[in-house]
Structure 1
Amino acid sequence: MRDLALLPKAHLHLHFTGSMRVGTLVDLAAKYRVKLPGALTDGDPLQLPATERGWFRFQRLYDAARKCVRSEEDMRRIVDEAAADDAAEGSGRLEIQVDPTSYAPFTGGITPAVEIVTDAARRASDDHGIEVGVIVAASRMKHPLDARTLARLAARYAGDGVGDVVGFGLSNDERRGDTTGFARAFEIARRAGLAAVPHGGELLGPDHIAVVLRDLEPNRLGHGVRAAESDRLLERIVEREVALEVCPASNVSLGVYHDATEVPLRRLVDAGARIALGADDPLLFGSRLLAQYETAREVHGFSDRELAELARSSIRASRASSSTKRRLLTGVDTWLTAPDPGNSAGEGTFGNNQGEPVTVV
């Protein structure tokens, strides 16, 4: 089988604090004399029920990790390492999501916090050969007026270059807050040319996804896996070309599905949905982007041709420039037409113009 780490791809669902390496978290905790919960350092992925109690435990752990990020230096380290880790797994494009209000107390405000992340993204792009864009995210746990403030801030730094703010998101427990109340913030973001990338369709099902589609008009939907529960809704998502940022490890860790076999990846793909696999919070869920592609291959039986199409879908759904998309898509074609190392006796599998495998001896 072809090496999935060599498959060019885009990573569109990765949270700032949740992207941290365990070793980095341990270093920062020692630096600030913070005692960490064992669940953050034992290396095991979380296994939580899909209940409010389960989410509360997840949020407590996330907050414990976030409390270890207390300086510009810490923030720059996180962005740099996230870019390095993604580049090592074949990502040519990373769009990292951050709520600047979490780091404002240590940087002098939300504006400096955004500027630190965008500048760090530019430097990391140069250092690791990967394009990094930034998504500014509001929280459902806060008032919609706060979201409008963040949307205006995101609009100030909007652009399509490396390190620019490329999208506006809405995260945290989707069972909280009034989705409709955040519509104005997303309107502000769209007018600035930002992608609308709210979370939805993981903890709640089709009815909530329908509200998100109606009121927030997303370009991409964070998770969205539970659209598989409604044929009609899934048809709407496909017709509107809304990409779904599917994060299998997250779905299992948060108890949405019992195990990876239940994640409806195949169902979504067969329905024609645009899919961008994501790692969400590797620090808590125990696996990065490459593992999501491995799950598609090993658990869901995706062929190399189908895995290449998943990668293409992620690239097309990104806010990368046209030239970057062309370059990465060409790289996917090259990966697919390379000899399959799984073949023996001098056989090699190559791709024809349609990307179908052709075996030659």
Structure 2
Amino acid sequence: MTGDLTTLPKAHLHLHFTGSMRLSTLQELAAGYGVRLPAALIDGDPLRLPATERGWFRFQRLYDAARACVRSEADMRRIVDEAAADDAAEGSGRLEIQVDPTSYAPFMGGITPAVEAVLDAASTASRDHGLEVAVIVAASRTRHPLDARTLARLAAQYAGEGAGEVVGFGLSNDERRGDTAEFAHAFSIARRAGLASVPHGGELLGPSHVHDVVAHLSPDRIGHGVRAGEDPQMLDRLVTAGTTLEVCPASNVSLGVYREDADVPLRRLVDAGARVALGADDPLLFGSRLVAQYETARSVHGFSDAELADLARASVRGSRAGPTTRARLLADIDAWARQAEHRP
């Protein structure tokens, strides 16, 4: 027998705000606002797109259609609460959810009240569901780097490590857009405030993009980063630096980066000594939550219970959880591993 992955304590470090939404919630919000959703969002099939600009455009169009159904503070609070409940049910003791407040500023009266609503909802959800929910504020590559600086300064005002606090600053959207170096100033602002540097990189583009991210943004974690496996020197550099790679197998396949689950270089990264934290990215579009990523590691990549426990430990160590939370989660993972070892 194998261990129950829903009871394996873990941290979830790569989950986007809108992409975390339950399909039932999206459908309810759309009906309430009279929005007709694209069939690809509600047909129950995971997204499958080529790793091209056209493929990304379709993904972004669907994501924007879902985001357009979030139109009030109550909607935002509901999404955070349900994301926390879903992660708690899957064994997460720590969730660091990523949000770009710019998208929700129009109906919230600005980016500041949008961030404050998410932070307050995260604090409440933490108490209600028995895990810590912290927040990563993310800028978009499709906007001007000055906008990123504004978001970094905003994020710095709420910096901390606990529930309902901002723990990191990210950079998301199409890796082919924008000049990575032009976002360096924003990340410097965030780092001076003690925030983790958590940009996306090395998914749609190859290891050269990982190099740019490392050179200009000094990441503590890289969202995805899987293409680093194609460059042994780059991978060794990440291993030496202790940079966490937030690997999201389901989204890699859905966006055409790899043809099938077995092609995701999870085993290669781990065997090289990389710190890998599994993430679900956008379950709404990819149809796969966090435990499913661990199940893929087990059933497709042959990870044993001991190795799955190591992945969970890496997620905790890569998080910005405080010493007390970190120690508790690591002890709970050890207990899970011992039980799994003695399971007949």
- Aligned match of 2:166: 165
- Aligned match of 1:356: none
CA distance in 2, matches of 1:115, 1:216: 26
Measure how far apart 1:201 and its partner are: 0.4
Residue correspondence of structure 1 range 205-284 to structure 2 within 5 A? 205-284=206-285
Letter in 1 for 2:139: A
Secondary structure, counterpart of 2:227 in structure 1: helix
Measure how far apart 1:208 and its partner are: 1.0
- Aligned match of 1:105: 106
Per-residue CA deviation, residues 126-167 of structure 1 (Å, 9 max, x unaligned), is 000010000000000000000000000000011112110000
Matched, 1:56 2:91: no
CA distance in 1, matches of 2:209, 2:75: 36
Quick check: 2:305–2:340 contact (8 Å CA) kept in 1?
no
Residue correspondence of structure 1 range 111-130 to structure 2 within 5 A? 111-130=112-131
Structure 1 segments (4+ residues) deviating >4 Å: none
CA distance in 2, matches of 1:49, 1:162: 37
Per-residue CA deviation, residues 252-307 of structure 1 (Å, 9 max, x unaligned), is 00000000000000000000000000000000000000000000000000000000
- Aligned match of 1:345: none
- Aligned match of 1:318: 319
CA distance in 1, matches of 2:255, 2:340: 38
Letter in 1 for 2:321: A
CA distance in 1, matches of 2:162, 2:312: 21
CA distance in 1, matches of 2:236, 2:42: 42
Letter in 2 for 1:34: V
CA distance in 2, matches of 1:236, 1:88: 36
CA distance in 1, matches of 2:65, 2:244: 31
Residue correspondence of structure 1 range 23-172 to structure 2 within 5 A? 23-172=24-173
Residue correspondence of structure 1 range 269-308 to structure 2 within 5 A? 269-308=270-309
Secondary structure, counterpart of 1:4 in structure 2: coil
Quick check: 2:161–2:320 contact (8 Å CA) kept in 1?
yes
- Aligned match of 1:176: 177
Secondary structure, counterpart of 1:135 in structure 2: strand
Per-residue CA deviation, residues 291-331 of structure 1 (Å, 9 max, x unaligned), is 00000000000000000000000000000011001000011
Measure how far apart 1:339 and its partner are: 5.0
Secondary structure, counterpart of 2:35 in structure 1: coil
The two structures have a TM-score, normalised by structure 2, of: 0.99
Secondary structure, counterpart of 2:321 in structure 1: coil
Could you say what the CA RMSD is over the residues aligned between the two structures, in angstroms?
Answer: 0.8
Matched, 1:193 2:194: yes
Secondary structure, counterpart of 2:151 in structure 1: helix
CA distance in 2, matches of 1:159, 1:324: 14
- Aligned match of 2:12: 11
Per-residue CA deviation, residues 211-240 of structure 1 (Å, 9 max, x unaligned), is 100000000000000000000000000011
Letter in 1 for 2:281: D
Letter in 1 for 2:215: R
Letter in 1 for 2:12: H
Larger deviation, residues 330-339 vs 275-284? 330-339
Sequence identity (%) = 75
Structure 2 unmatched runs, 5+: none
Letter in 1 for 2:23: V
Quick check: 2:221–2:245 contact (8 Å CA) kept in 1?
yes
CA distance in 2, matches of 1:338, 1:300: 22
Distance 1:215 1:339, change over 3 A: closer
Measure how far apart 1:177 and its partner are: 0.2
CA distance in 2, matches of 1:240, 1:338: 32
Task: Pick the structure with greater CA Rg.
Answer: 1
Measure how far apart 1:205 and its partner are: 0.6
Secondary structure, counterpart of 2:198 in structure 1: strand
Structure 1 unmatched runs, 5+: 341-347, 350-358
Letter in 2 for 1:145: L
CA distance in 2, matches of 1:64, 1:4: 32
Secondary structure, counterpart of 1:212 in structure 2: helix
Letter in 2 for 1:286: G
Letter in 1 for 2:76: M
CA distance in 2, matches of 1:245, 1:229: 16
Per-residue CA deviation, residues 190-216 of structure 1 (Å, 9 max, x unaligned), is 000000000000000111110100000
The two structures have a TM-score, normalised by structure 1, of: 0.94
